Amino acid sequence: MRPVGNGVTAAAGFLAAGVSAGIKPSGKPDLALVLSETRAAAAAVFTRNQVQAVPVVISRQRIRHGQARAVLINSGCANCLTGTPGRSDALAISRAVEQALSVRSSEVLLASTGIIGQRVPVAQIVRAIPGLVEHVDRAHHTAAAEAILTTDLQVKEVALQAQVDGRTFSVGGMAKGAGMIAPSMATMLCVVTTDAAVPAGLLRTLLVEAAAVSFNRITIDGDMSTNDSVFLLANGQSGAAIRPGQRSARVFSQALTRVMTELALLLVKDGEGATRLLHVEVIGARTTEQAQVCARQVACSPLVKTMLAGGDPNVGRIAAAVGSAPITMDPRRLDIDIGGQMVVRRGAVVPVSRTVAAQLLQADEIAVRINLHVGHGSGRMTTCDLTEDYVKINARYTT
């Protein structure tokens, strides 16, 4: 596998564009389109929040067909808690895309991000769609990736190539998300494309597996959004055939997982107010499931995250988070190390010098390893620190 450029348009036969439809008061780009030149196999995973935005509900229904041609994303308005009018708005926008592209309604997937409780400006978006369609091109991937941002500071794109049976295929993606990132799908929007030929059923299986070890292994603030959506489209234009149970499926799965994992890390690095990353690894758990529960408990702890923000190695906060997890453990066996430095051994703090302590949490990325010594299960999570800037950003998000 090797990295390549172009994000969602790295895969042959995919085009993208991003424009301003006037949804954001700032005038920044807020409407993106990803288009496959041919009908593509399609799969998706969505938020598990019981309060779901209108585009999530519509796309969940449409993805059952296992095919798609386009994904339309707007930022600046979530179209959530908008009732029947919100659904009518989304369908009107979808019809405008269908007419502009001459495709069926079931082939257009929708996603939105932004403020909850406001209706989207349908007339403005509909007016912008012809220009959006006119601009779709392989060169406009970054414009699309920019148009889906909200509080993000950075565009997030990843693409790579791999080979199966002498055929080269590409996998590329774009994502957005800086807040409301929680492990339960992660809170973000993402579109991944590939020119490999993958049956819809296999595509769905591999997407779920890749999401479990990428977007479901990150957290920024522990809050789950109403709009989470990850779309995966495969149009087969490379001629690389991916078959269940074959080596080709393993190679494709590795490529997909790598793209999604790299996008997930970009989300955490761009977390609202974030200055440091924390990689939490739990080993020696009774089961893999318990290890993951423990890692999540530590990564979601506000005290651990503020400890990270202050660069203060208060290991009691890590131990307390471990102990609060609903898992099997014996505190007398607990080991914790930070960046390779043992700070808790067999349930007791290991004294370190002030100089060593001062350096433990000063790097941009820090690894914490927790060994429970009760089994062979392992799990991991990545999070970021919780700073004053996060509070400032979210305290006035709608005003």
Whether residues 116 and 252 share a domain: the answer is yes
Could you list the active site residues? 187
Are residues 175 and 232 located together in one domain of the fold?
A: yes
Final residue in a domain of this structure, among 231, 252, 269 = 269
**Rounded Cα–Cα distance for residues 119 and 250 (Å):** 43
- As for how many domains the chain has, the answer is 2
Reported as type and span, the H/E element at residue 31 is strand 31-46
What domain range is 331 assigned to? 277-395
List of residues 6+ apart from 166 with CB closer than 8 A? none
According to the model, what pLDDT value does residue 393 have?
A: 60
CATH code (residue 288):
3.10.20.340
**What pLDDT shows up at residue 183?**
40
Last-in-domain residue among 269, 301, 318: 269
Give the tokens for residue 170: 């590409």
Same domain, 259 and 298: no
**Average pLDDT by stretches of 10, the chain with 399 residues:** 89 98 94 98 93 96 97 96 97 97 96 93 97 96 95 90 96 80 58 98 97 86 79 98 96 98 88 81 98 94 89 90 96 96 96 85 91 97 79 61
Q: What does 78-109 look like in DSSP terms, one character per residue?
A: ---S-HHHHHHHHHHHHHHHHHHHT--GGGEE
Rounded to a whole number, what is the largest CA-CA distance in the chain? 69
HSE-CB at 124 with a 13 A cutoff on CA atoms is 17
Same domain, residue pair 294 and 349: yes
184: nearest Cα among 209, 150, 218: 218
- Do residues 75 and 155 make contact, with C-beta atoms less than 8 angstroms apart? no
The reply to whether 303 and 218 lie within a common domain is no
What tokens appear for 225 in the block?
A: 């959004």
Domain match, 205 and 183 both: yes
Are residues 191 and 297 located together in one domain of the fold?
Answer: no
DSSP character string of 188-238: SEEEEEE-SB--HHHHHHHHHHHHHTTGGGEESSSPPPS--EEEEEE--TT
3-state DSSP call for residue 347?
coil
Are residues 349 and 248 both part of a single domain? no
Cα 173 from Cα 257, distance rounded (Å) = 11
Domain shared by 147 and 20, yes or no: yes
Residues 286 and 249 in one domain: no
**Distance (Å) of CA 156 to CA 2, 292, 305, 383:** 18, 26, 23, 17
The Cα 94–Cα 96 span in angstroms is 5
Q: In terms of domains, do 175 and 309 share one?
A: no
Beta carbons of 229 and 81 less than 8 angstroms apart: no
Residues 115 and 236 occupy one common structural domain: yes
Domain boundary, last residue among 269, 285, 319: 269
Q: Which residues contact 35 (CB under 8 A, 6 or more apart)?
A: 14, 15, 16, 69, 70, 101, 133, 136
In the block, residue with structure tokens 């992660």: 186
Instruction: Using alpha carbons, list the distances in angstroms from residue 111 to 44, 263, 354.
Output: 12, 18, 50
Amino acid 364: pLDDT: 87
Which of 188, 179, 219, 27 shows the shortest CA–CA distance to 112? 188
Crossing angle of helices 247-269/200-212, nearest 10°?
A: 40
Distance between CA atoms of 9 and 16, rounded to whole angstroms? 7
CATH classification of the domain holding 69? 3.60.70.12
How far, CA to CA in Å, does 1 sit from each of 89, 158, 257?
42, 13, 12
